Amino acid sequence: MKSSNIVWLSEWYSRQANGDWEHSFGIKIETLDNPGWRIVIDLSETPLATRPFTSIKEENSPRDWTTCRIQDGKFEGFCGPGNLDKVLGVFRAWPES
């Protein structure tokens, strides 16, 4: 059975945590006021730091939108209030592809 995206993300984080990485880098998930979500995953010193990523931008409605990109060595995902799992899925699919 395939794990949920949040379980997969917590396992990815655990694999990066080596006693040093987690003190300088990590993951932030926060809300936006438009409303929506923002997730930032620092890729420094991970296998994804140099892996190519194609930015994604979808706007279906004011509450159904998704933007994912790499900026300054970080995966950044922004989305509408019901799209957090979709952004986590985009991040998950990237190393699995």
What value does the mean pLDDT of the chain take?
Answer: 95
Angle at 88 between CA 20 and CA 39, to 5 degrees: 60
Neighbour tally for 64: CB within 10 Å:
14
Q: Answer yes or no: is pLDDT of 1 > 60.
A: no
pLDDT tens digits, residue range 36-76?
Answer: 999 999 999 999 999 999 999 999 999 999 999 999 999 99
pLDDT reported for residue 3: 85
CA separation for the pair 67, 90 (Å, rounded): 10
pLDDT reported for residue 27: 96
pLDDT reported for residue 62: 93
Write down the domain spans for the chain.
5-96
* HSE toward the beta carbon, residue 27, CA cutoff 13 A: 15
